[in-house]
Structure 1
Amino acid sequence: MTLHTKVLSLIDGRQTFKKKKKLIEWLMKKELLQGKMKCKLCKKRMKLEKHSNVDGLQWKCRRKKHRGKTTKKSVRSLSLFQRSKLSLFSWMKYIYRFSQGLQLRQIDLLQDGVAGSSRTLSKISLKLRKVCKSAIKRRERRGKQRLGGPNEFVMLDESNFYHKRKYGRGRFGPTWRRRKWVFGMLGIRGKRRRPILRLVKQRSRRHLIPLVTKYVRQGTTVITDMWRAYTTAIAESGFVHFSVNHSRSFVNPDTGAHTQNIERAWSTYKSQVWRLRGNRTVKTLKSHLAFIEWTHWLTNEHKDGPLGRLLHDIRHFCKF
Structure 2
Amino acid sequence: LCRRLNDITKIIATENHDLSLNPTDSLCFVGWQYSLNRNSKGSRIFEREAVEFLQNHGILPTTMTCRNGHVAKLHFNKHIYWRCSKRTCQRKMRIRSGNWLEGSRIPISTILRFMRCWCEDLTSIEWCQRELKLSKDTTVDWNNRMREVCIFAVQRNKKKIGGEGLIVEIDESLFTKRKNSTSRMLSQQWIFGGICRETGDLFMEEVPDRSAKTLLTVITENVKEGTTIYSDCWRSYTTEELNETGFEDLKINQKYNFVDPKMDIWRNKKHRGTARHQLSTYLAEFLWRQRVRDQDIFLAFLREILSLEK
- The TM-score by the shorter chain falls in which range? 0.7 to 0.9
CA deviation after TM superposition for structure 1 residue 151, in Å: 5.5
Please give the per-residue CA displacement for 1:87-126, whole angstroms capped at 9, x wherever unaligned. Answer: 1121112111211234x321122111x2431000011111
Please give the per-residue CA displacement for 1:230-273, whole angstroms capped at 9, x wherever unaligned. Answer: 7955634421111034xxxx3xxxxxxxx53x445x44xx55xx
RMSD of aligned Cα (Å): 2.5
Amino acid at match of 2:78: S
Q: Is structure 2 residue 83 aligned with structure 1 residue 52?
A: no
**Which portions of structure 1, spanning 4 or more consecutive aligned residues, are displaced by more than 6 angstroms?**
none
In structure 1, C-alpha distance between the alignment counterparts of 2:182 and 2:149, rounded to whole Å: 35
Q: Where do 5+ consecutive residues of structure 2 fail to align?
A: 1-26
Which of 69, 80, 84 in structure 2 is aligned with 1:61? 84
Q: Which residue number corresponds to residue 139 of structure 1?
A: 157
Q: Where do 5+ consecutive residues of structure 1 fail to align?
A: 251-258
Distance 1:96 1:289, change over 3 A: same
Please give the per-residue CA displacement for 1:281-310, whole angstroms capped at 9, x wherever unaligned. Answer: 33x11111111111112x1354xx211111
Q: Greater RCO between the two (CA within 8 Å, min separation 6)?
A: 2
Q: Is structure 2 residue 201 aligned with structure 1 residue 194?
A: yes
Distance 1:136 1:230, change over 3 A: farther
2:255 counterpart SS class: coil
Q: Which residue number corresponds to residue 10 of structure 2?
A: none
Distance 1:296 1:183, change over 3 A: same
1:300 counterpart SS class: coil
Give yes or no for contact 2:71–2:85 (8 Å, CA) kept in 1.
no
1:168 counterpart SS class: coil
Q: Which residue number corresponds to residue 110 of structure 1?
A: 129
% identical equivalent positions: 19
Q: Which residue number corresponds to residue 16 of structure 2?
A: none
In structure 1, C-alpha distance between the alignment counterparts of 2:166 and 2:136, rounded to whole Å: 42
Alignment of 1:84-163 (within 5 A): 84-102=104-122, 104-112=123-131, 114-140=132-158, 145-150=159-164, 152-163=166-177
Distance 1:86 1:11, change over 3 A: farther
In structure 1, C-alpha distance between the alignment counterparts of 2:102 and 2:118, rounded to whole Å: 19
Please give the per-residue CA displacement for 1:115-148, whole angstroms capped at 9, x wherever unaligned. Answer: 43100001111111110110111112xxxx2110
Which of 61, 69, 78 in structure 2 is aligned with 1:43? 69
Q: Which residue number corresponds to residue 242 of structure 1?
A: 259
CA deviation after TM superposition for structure 1 residue 28, in Å: 0.5
Amino acid at match of 1:136: V
Q: Is structure 2 residue 288 aligned with structure 1 residue 294?
A: yes
Distance 1:115 1:81, change over 3 A: farther
In structure 2, C-alpha distance between the alignment counterparts of 1:124 and 1:291, rounded to whole Å: 13
CA deviation after TM superposition for structure 1 residue 166, in Å: 3.9
Q: Is structure 2 residue 220 aligned with structure 1 residue 227?
A: no
Please give the per-residue CA displacement for 1:142-189, whole angstroms capped at 9, x wherever unaligned. Answer: xxx2110256311111111122244425x67xxx33x31111122221
